[in-house]
Structure 1
Amino acid sequence: MAGLTPTTPQPTEITVHQQSRLLEIAFADGERFSIPFELMRVFSPSAEVMGHGPGQETLQTGKREVGIAALEPVGHYGIRPQFDDGHESGIFSWDYLYQLGSRAAEFWADYEAKLAAAGLGRDDPMPGKAGSACGHHHH
Structure 2
Amino acid sequence: MMKTPQPTDIKLHQKSRLLEVSFTTGETFKLPCEYLRVYSQSAEVTGHTPDQAVLQVGKQAVNIVDITPVGNYAVKLHFDDGHDTGLYTWERLYDLGQHQTEYWQDYLKQLKAAGHSHPDMPRPNLTDLI
Shared fold per TM-score greater than 0.5: yes
SS state at 1:25 partner:
strand
Q: What whole-Å deviation, never above 9, does each CA across 1:46-75 have from its counterpart, x for those lacking one?
A: 000000101211110111110101000011
Q: What whole-Å deviation, never above 9, does each CA across 1:19-39 have from its counterpart, x for those lacking one?
A: 110000000110110000000
Of 15, 29, 46, which residue of structure 1 is paired with 2:42?
A: 46
Deviation at 1:122? 3.3
Q: How many residues align?
A: 119
Q: Which amino acid aligns with 2:81?
A: D
1:23 aligns with 2:24: no
Q: 1:1-139 counterparts in 2 under 5 A?
A: 7-122=3-118
Higher relative contact order (CA 8 A, sep 6+): 1
- Following TM superposition, the consecutive aligned residue runs of length 4 or more in structure 1 with deviations greater than 3 angstroms are none
Identity of matched residues, %: 50
CA distance in 2 between counterparts of 1:110 and 1:70 reads 27
SS state at 2:104 partner:
helix
Higher-Rg structure is 2
Deviation at 1:112? 0.9
- Asked if the contact 1:61–1:121 (Cα under 8 Å) also holds between the matched residues in 2, the reply is no
Q: Which amino acid aligns with 2:9?
A: E
CA distance in 2 between counterparts of 1:85 and 1:110 reads 23
TM-score (norm 1): 0.82
Structure 1 runs not aligned, ≥5 long: 124-139
CA distance in 2 between counterparts of 1:91 and 1:80 reads 5
- Asked if the contact 1:8–1:94 (Cα under 8 Å) also holds between the matched residues in 2, the reply is yes
Alignment RMSD, CA only?
A: 1.3
Structure 2 runs not aligned, ≥5 long: 120-130
